[in-house]
A and B are shown apart, each in its own frame.
Chain A
Amino acid sequence: NAGVTQTPKFRILKIGQSMTLQCTQDMNHNYMYWYRQDPGMGLKLIYYSVGAGITDKGEVPNGYNVSRSTTEDFPLRLELAAPSQTSVYFCASSWWEPPEAFFGQGTRLTVV
């Protein structure tokens, strides 16, 4: 099984550019999450979704948007990238809450 797949693995953005981080899971999980992890820090919840068509904000949603049109996909959109968004982004999914969450391999994003 592929599990949770994130693309791209690495990306460099210029300030003000936009991009979409892709996340796909093939486990038919209802719950999906986006986290960011700054160097030496824990994971901060950006957005989460409990099913197709349902999304909600986490701790640090500013500067990001998400959509969940299908069970499998949960893309994260960065609008007007800023240096403060330089981080490693992890997507995760789980059957239900509380979850055993399965994580993707992460996207390392640098904004210059």
Chain B
Amino acid sequence: QQPVQSPQAVILREGEDAVINCSSSKALYSVHWYRQKHGEAPVFLMILLKGGEQKGHEKISASFNEKKQQSSLYLTASQLSYSGTYFCGTGLNTGNQFYFGTGTSLTVIP
């Protein structure tokens, strides 16, 4: 039930863009995105609910395609502070559980 993320790792130069994908084999009710810095707890970025909406948060936005059970996180004009591991979390149509993906390591270099 764990969603699959791609790519596993990406290295960017400051100012470049990146896309992180999250895919589930189960019908989704919600998708959540978190960022975790090394040695710290995950921090919530945004949540998307059924309805295919797109959300934005500064230069980070995300989309949710419930038919394809996929979500994508878009990072534009990346900054050094964007470095970390990004996790998607998926809430299923049934039950109260939500599961985290395997993570995407993002490194932004000067």
Name A residues whose Cβ lies closer than 8 Å to a Cβ of B.
31, 35, 40-45, 48, 50, 56, 58-59, 90, 97-106
Interface pair A104/B41, CB less than 8 Å apart: yes
Q: Can you report 30 A-B residue pairs in the complex whose CB atoms are below 8 A from each other?
A: A35-B100, A41-B103, A42-B87, A42-B101, A42-B102, A42-B103, A43-B42, A43-B100, A44-B2, A45-B97, A45-B98, A48-B96, A48-B97, A50-B96, A56-B96, A59-B1, A59-B2, A59-B99, A98-B29, A98-B30, A98-B47, A98-B49, A98-B91, A100-B44, A101-B34, A101-B42, A103-B41, A103-B43, A104-B41, A106-B41
Contact of B98 among A41, A42, A99 (CB under 8 A): A99
Residues of B contacting A42 in the complex (Cβ-Cβ under 8 angstroms):
2, 87, 100-103
Known: A97-B91, A98-B32. A103 touches B42 (CB 8 A): yes
Residues of A contacting B58 in the complex (Cβ-Cβ under 8 angstroms):
none
Size range of the chain B interface in the assembly: 20 to 34
Majority SS at the chain A contact face: loop
Name B residues whose Cβ lies closer than 8 Å to a Cβ of A.
1-2, 29-30, 32, 34, 40-44, 47, 49, 87, 89, 91, 96-103
Q: A105 vs B96: C-alpha distance in the bound complex, in angstroms?
A: 23
Contact of B44 among A31, A90, A102, A105 (CB under 8 A): A102
Q: A98 vs B96: C-alpha distance in the bound complex, in angstroms?
A: 8
Q: A106 vs B43: C-alpha distance in the bound complex, in angstroms?
A: 13
Q: A42 vs B34: C-alpha distance in the bound complex, in angstroms?
A: 11
Q: Which of B32, B34, B96 has the most CB of A within 10 A?
A: B96
Q: Which of A35, A42, A43, A50 has the most CB of B within 10 A?
A: A42
Q: A48 vs B42: C-alpha distance in the bound complex, in angstroms?
A: 17
